[in-house]
Amino acid sequence: MFNKLLILSASAGAGHIRAAQAIEKAATQLNAAKEVIHIDTLEYTNKVFRNLYSKAYIEMVNKTPDLLGWIYDKLDTPWEKERRRLMVDKLNTRPFVKFIKKYQPDAIICTHFLPAEIVSWMKAKEKLTCPQGIVITDFDVHALWLCHNYEHYFVAIDEASVHLNKLGIWPDKISITGIPIDPVFSEQKDKQAMRLKYGLDPNKTTILISAGGFGVGPVELLLKALLHSKNPLQIIAICGKSAELKQRVDTLAATLANNSLVTIKPIGYTKDMDEYMSASDILLGKPGGLTTSEALAKGLVFVIFNPIPGQEERNSDHLLEQGVAIRCNNLPTLAYKIDSLLDNKERFTNMQNNVKKLARPQAAIDVVKKMLSLQKI
């Protein structure tokens, strides 16, 4: 058991925070430390830097995704530009460094590359001696995750482990755990029971579409495209915190005739995503690392649409290679592609079996257990 376990994330997109929260919950369940705390590293930086990391990221996702992809690829040069980047990050994270020095944790787990880089630098300068675990929150390994001073890396799939090894990370310092998700997603909940709980047809193919917590993404366009399906479908449309989007989807759902093959169940912001996933057969949307891992744990087949250039494009490639996803690049063909998948029952069953092989619902627990094995006696 640790005295103080510190979990560090950054609010650049929701995934890093959710992975950290999952690890925090797992650490508490395992009684891994007397004190477990999770902080958003960006809360200990200046306002300009914080906005660059968080708000600017969301803006690029929504308005200039191609630029985001270009930046992602441009920065993916292992071990290059690290000194320049470290100089900028050190300058903007002084309050964070001060906090770490004062807190003196017994172990650190990072779910974002920014705190991992600063902790690595502190260890190099002997300002910190505790073990650092670095949890990569996508299926691919980007150069920004690379550090010189760490005790262990945690990755999603075998290929990521091989990639790190080729870049100089020793195999015994890498664990293939999957991406940490809330332990609630490992709980088995009956599909038909969950459908009945939320007023759904217990025997109808169910597709889950999520706009994320902030209600962004082409939800309405996807719904309208699915109305052309030749198969009976019920769609759970998660609208997030956007009341405006929820109202528009409510209106669309109400206009459908009672004898329509497709029905829509609009949902606002929810903390019951694990139950909506339990009720579903297919996840339609973007393959973010955390959402993907949650859906895999719940046995969902993926229909990928419009992945963000960069990390989601690479996640998409891995899912397609593993046989757990199809991808639609043209909205007018969306219903056709899903109909083709559902009409081929053998193919759909094989994909569901592949999902079970790829899923790692215990990732958060495995990360904490490995960190406990690294503690200094």
Is 176 in the same domain as 104? Answer: yes
Is 156 in the same domain as 52? Answer: yes
Tell me the average pLDDT of the chain. Answer: 90
Is 128 in the same domain as 236? Answer: no
Domain of 159, in residue numbers? 2-181+362-373
Is 264 in the same domain as 191? Answer: yes
The domain tally of the chain equals 2
Is 153 in the same domain as 221? Answer: no
Q: What is the mean pLDDT of residues 81-105?
A: 87
Q: How many CB atoms lie within 10 A of CB 22?
A: 29
Is 8 in the same domain as 124? Answer: yes
Q: pLDDT digit string (tens) for 74-88?
A: 888 888 877 888 888
Is 366 in the same domain as 291? Answer: no
CA angle 86, 6, 188 (to 5 degrees): 115
For residue 103, what pLDDT is reported? Answer: 93
Give 311's contacts (C-beta < 8 A, 6+ positions apart): 72, 138, 140, 142, 289
Largest Cα span, the chain:
69
pTM: 0.90
Handedness of CA 310, 315, 318, 323 (dihedral sign): negative
Is 124 in the same domain as 203? Answer: no
Task: For residues 373 and 377, give the distance between their C-alpha atoms in angstroms, rounded to a whole number.
Answer: 10
Residue 307's CATH number: 3.40.50.2000
Question: What DSSP character marks residue 269?
Answer: S
* Helix 363-373 with 15-29: angle, nearest 10 deg: 60
Is 34 in the same domain as 23? Answer: yes
Is 368 in the same domain as 333? Answer: no
Structural tokens at position 6 = 């510190």
Q: How many CB atoms lie within 10 A of CB 373?
A: 8
Residue 55 has pLDDT above 80, yes or no: no
Is 50 in the same domain as 80? Answer: yes
Q: pLDDT digit string (tens) for 140-197?
A: 999 999 999 999 999 999 999 999 999 999 999 999 999 999 999 999 999 999 999 9
Is 168 in the same domain as 307? Answer: no
